[in-house]
A and B are shown apart, each in its own frame.
Chain A
Amino acid sequence: MKKGFLGIILHAHLPYVRHPEHESFFEENWLFEAITECYIPLIGVLDRLQKDSVNYRLTLSLSPPLISMLRDDLLQSRYLKYLHRLLELAEKEIIRTRKQPEFQKLARLYRRFFQNTLNTYQDQYHCDLLTAFNKHHNAGTLELITCAATHGFLPLLNVSETAVRNQINMGINTFASNLGFLPSGFWLPECAYYPGLETLLAEAGIKYFFVDTHGIMDASQSPRNGVYAPMDCGNGVLAFARDPESSRQVWSSHEGYPGDFDYREYYRDIGFDLELDYIAPYILDGEIRINTGIKYHRVTGNDMPKEIYNPKKALAKAHLHAQDFINKRQQQIDALSATMDRMPIMVAPYDAELFGHWWFEGPHWLERVLRLASENTNSVQTISCSDYLKQQSSHQVATPSASTWGDQGYYSYWINETNDWIYPFLHKAEADMEKLASDLQGLAVSPLQTRALNQAARSILLAQASDWPFIMKSGTTIDYANKRITDHLARFNYLHDCIRKNRINERYLTALEIMDNIFPDIDFRDYNPSKKRLPT
């Protein structure tokens, strides 16, 4: 008998990385790697579960930049080139490893994997992965939700309510125009919540969102059911909290499953291991070593030479870890249901890109978890938050506490000595945009001016992405993050100047429209603080 719910939420997001001004661009590989290792394997999981009529529920948050990139013709064609090169490399690896049978077996596995990826992407889904996700949404097994337009870190944009409103509404509009329906749920970028945000979410028609554990534990009223029941923020919008136990088991750097010795090691890639002459055609500019996606080793163990990867053993371990995960959820549910006045829900949100990209076996683990939960031998039932809310109509009313799911639990990862310089510029650009929109209220605006104004609004949104301060703090690709935020602010400054002086160079405007082609339905008038337009 089912006694409690498990809500697994995957948040899929990448910053908008698309560079038509270059013939090829390294950071576009972020998308290509995620499609190959995460999104297509995830679709494979969903397709297999559907084929086997498994009764499961899963929630997937698709960020608007990711939605836009998955639908983009240029990136679709570049992804196909990327895949063909991977296949070519796998073929070369089969030849190179002909005297190393264990390695050659893996090289063949990679060729099969890339070929299946190509078949799924090109033949089965015609380069349109959103259709694949939508198919499962329509089947009622996958709930699709979205997040803010460019994953803006909302508490630090909240100097202007209009900025936050546009991040929310543009995100929802992008989702709706590509997926065909309005989402019920909203993923707050970085789970970053501040009291009052629920008002704008309600205005946009959102029914629920997620916060980290302490968002509920530190709420204005002590939570009667801990984090195992959502809270009504007082306006009918529900906040679900992350269950720390299920998070830790998967994500913790100390205890998490992905670090198991049998799993594939992410950091041993032939892009770094093989002779430069051989690997040059598949790395950056023929000389800068990068991950290729072909990896032959397993995590192994502390300070030990990395051993060769054994896929069968890794798969078996993923199944054991899935069983362990379900067993622990069952123990939680058994304990909680004895004390709660309702069936507990354990909310387990993860970055989607963990599954398959960082944790190669993650999709298998997820599939196994969903299959196990569907069996009648345990008390765990997977559920989407929308389905939960249909079953449970009364909720404790309280205001969650400001929080994020990031390091230290608050905002310091996104505002510190590495990235604080961006906020005066972001706020100034937003204020300038709002002033422009206000000044033009009631005035006739030519089609060319409208294009320039809309492009200025796109530049603001792209500059506001939380990814840039995140990268600055994490220290990974700082130069790129600096360049992106500087570029978008400069593009905004340029357009603002042109509009104010009424000297718009259409050639330059066109170039910016080609380079930053996100949000085709944007309307600069939404930046007029006196005007509130709801998602349509």
Chain B
Amino acid sequence: MTFPYSRYNPQIKLSPEEMLEISQEINREFAPAFSIKKPEPASQHKLSPKELFEISEEIRLNFAPKASNNTQELVLLPVDPEHLYAYWNLDDDKLNTTPKKDSENQLTLRIYPEANKNTDISKTKSWFDVAIDSTQSQLNVFLSMRAHETAYRASIGNRFPDNSLAPFAHSNITHVPLGKTMLNQLMLNQLMLNQLKESQTVFKSMPQFITASQEISIFTHFGASGQGNN
């Protein structure tokens, strides 16, 4: 191919394939690229896959996560409108001196609903207890008082016959979801249904075979998402 009306050197003949190849090469080599820095390991360490694997295994065996035993802690996590999750670490000496479940002092998780500004405090019990035994280190707690509160804190300690608590650790404050969903969802669906019934022209004209099939493959994810709230 020549370019008689251009300033290009007519001696250089290029086929479309050659031009495509040149274009692709330039694109490959010189396209603007953003920083894609990788950590640069020191060059003197050339490691084979086998060496990498051995190091990985050694670290896994020797440094596997272990339960903490040097901190006193109690952590609350939200689960859903009716549950929160508590886990704790207590000193061994505290656990060893804690009486068993059926004796008069009881290791107890005391949950305190945090009154919000809209709550009538007179209707809110100030706490509730969950008896635990010294072998436990976590618990899924059912929230019997959820109608009033969404924020909670807790203490863990020894409860005495007079209901007083000698706490070993106090928790963070956690907020569980409000959870009016089902009612609202039903109302929304009903509203949509009514609206659709009022405008049925297109709806009626749908061929029968478009309607949802009775069988579906159950999607088991390859590790990605929990989409499934339908």
Interface residues of A (CB under 8 A from B): 11, 13-15, 17, 20-23, 27, 30, 33-34, 71, 123, 126, 131, 155-156, 159, 177-180, 190, 194-195, 212-214, 217-218, 226-227, 244-245, 247-248, 251-261, 265-267, 299-302, 320-321, 324, 327, 330-332, 334-336, 350-351, 353-354, 358, 401-417, 420-421, 423-425, 427-429, 451, 454-455, 466-467, 470-471, 474, 476-477, 481, 483, 486-487, 489-491, 493-494, 497, 506-515, 517, 520-521
Question: Does B38 have its Cβ within 8 Å of any Cβ on chain A?
Answer: yes
Residues in chain A near residue B77, CB distance under 8 A: 156, 159, 411, 415, 423
List CB contacts (< 8 Å) of B16-75 with chain A: 24, 27-28, 31, 34-39, 41-42, 45, 47, 49-53, 55-56, 59-60, 62-65, 67-68, 75
A401 touches B227 (CB 8 A): no
**Nearest chain A residue, comparing its CB with the CB of B61:** A490
Give the CA-CA distance A218 to B45 in the complex, in Å. Answer: 56
Question: Does B80 have its Cβ within 8 Å of any Cβ on chain A?
Answer: yes
The 6 A-B pairs of least Cβ separation, nearest first, read: A259-B216, A335-B195, A406-B226, A410-B80, A21-B52, A255-B212
Residues in chain A near residue B89, CB distance under 8 A: 424
Question: Does B218 have its Cβ within 8 Å of any Cβ on chain A?
Answer: yes
B42 touches A517 (CB 8 A): no
Residues in chain A near residue B65, CB distance under 8 A: 425, 428-429, 486, 489-490, 493
CB distance from B46 to the nearest CB of A (A): 9
B227 touches A515 (CB 8 A): no
Q: Of B53, B181, B212, which is within 8 A of A217 by CB?
A: B181
Residues in chain B near residue A252, CB distance under 8 A: 212, 230
Give the CA-CA distance A411 to B81 in the complex, in Å. Answer: 10
Q: What are 27 pairs between A and B in contact, CB < 8 Å?
A: A14-B223, A15-B223, A20-B52, A126-B24, A177-B35, A178-B36, A213-B188, A218-B181, A253-B218, A253-B230, A259-B213, A302-B214, A320-B209, A324-B206, A327-B202, A332-B192, A332-B195, A351-B227, A353-B221, A401-B177, A406-B229, A408-B80, A411-B77, A414-B226, A423-B85, A494-B59, A521-B35
B34 touches A180 (CB 8 A): yes
Question: Does B4 have its Cβ within 8 Å of any Cβ on chain A?
Answer: no
CB distance from B199 to the nearest CB of A (A): 5
Given A261-B215, A412-B80, A510-B42, CB of A471 within 8 Å of CB of B223:
yes
**Nearest chain B residue, comparing its CB with the CB of A357:** B222
B222 touches A247 (CB 8 A): no
Interface string of B199-225 (1 = CB under 8 A from A): 100110011011011111111111111
Given A320-B210, A491-B63, CB of A476 within 8 Å of CB of B36:
no
A354 touches B49 (CB 8 A): no
Residues in chain B near residue A126, CB distance under 8 A: 24, 27-28
Residues in chain B near residue A321, CB distance under 8 A: 210
Residues in chain B near residue A494, CB distance under 8 A: 59, 62-63
CB distance from B106 to the nearest CB of A (A): 23
Residues in chain A near residue B212, CB distance under 8 A: 252, 254-257, 259-260
The DSSP consensus for interface residues of chain B is loop
Give the CA-CA distance A178 to B218 in the complex, in Å. Answer: 35
**Nearest chain B residue, comparing its CB with the CB of A29:** B222
**Nearest chain B residue, comparing its CB with the CB of A72:** B38
Question: Does B135 have its Cβ within 8 Å of any Cβ on chain A?
Answer: no
CB distance from A465 to the nearest CB of B (A): 9
Q: Of B45, B49, B215, which is within 8 A of A23 by CB?
A: B49
**Nearest chain A residue, comparing its CB with the CB of B218:** A253
Residues in chain A near residue B34, CB distance under 8 A: 177-180
Question: Does B9 have its Cβ within 8 Å of any Cβ on chain A?
Answer: no
Residues in chain B near residue A497, CB distance under 8 A: 63
List CB contacts (< 8 Å) of B144-198 with chain A: 172, 175-181, 184-185, 188-189, 191-192, 195-196, 198
Residues in chain A near residue B45, CB distance under 8 A: 506-507, 510-511
A486 touches B52 (CB 8 A): no
Q: Of A11, A247, A424, A455, which is within 8 A of B225 by CB?
A: A11
Residues in chain B near residue A212, CB distance under 8 A: 229
CB distance from A488 to the nearest CB of B (A): 9
